[in-house]
Amino acid sequence: MSTRGSRASRITEDEIKDLIRKLQAVIPEPHKTGTIRGASASKILNETCNYIKSLHREVEDLSERLSALMSSIDTSSAEGELMKSLLVQTMRRSER
């Protein structure tokens, strides 16, 4: 008898296959190397992990670019102060 939980709480093989199909559906084409029939679940999970890592890199890159933009804005003018204020508001909304 397993100590991990009752049989009713286990995920079935069909549910796992369905979850793998859903994962593969959200991975953009450049990151896909096969279909659910042609690719193993481990390959699809690996593709998903690689895609998530690329998203993290993209977020870091965009954050660096935004920081550089924010520091280059001349806040001595009303327009510059407004731009900086709008960027800060946008960043706060995206963090929610």
Q: Where are the domains of the chain?
A: 10-95
Cβ-proximal residues to 62 (8 Å cutoff; 6+ apart), any chain = none
Q: What is the 8-class DSSP label of residue 9?
A: G
What mean pLDDT is predicted for residues 32-55? 81
Q: What is the pTM of this model?
A: 0.64
Q: Which helix (H) or strand (E) holds 10?
A: none
Q: How confident is the model at residue 1 (pLDDT cuts 50, 70, 90)?
A: very low
pLDDT at 71: 84
* Other residues' Cβ atoms within 10 Å of the Cβ of residue 8: 5
What mean pLDDT is predicted for residues 13-25? 91
Out of 5-9, 22-26, 46-50, pick the least confident: 5-9
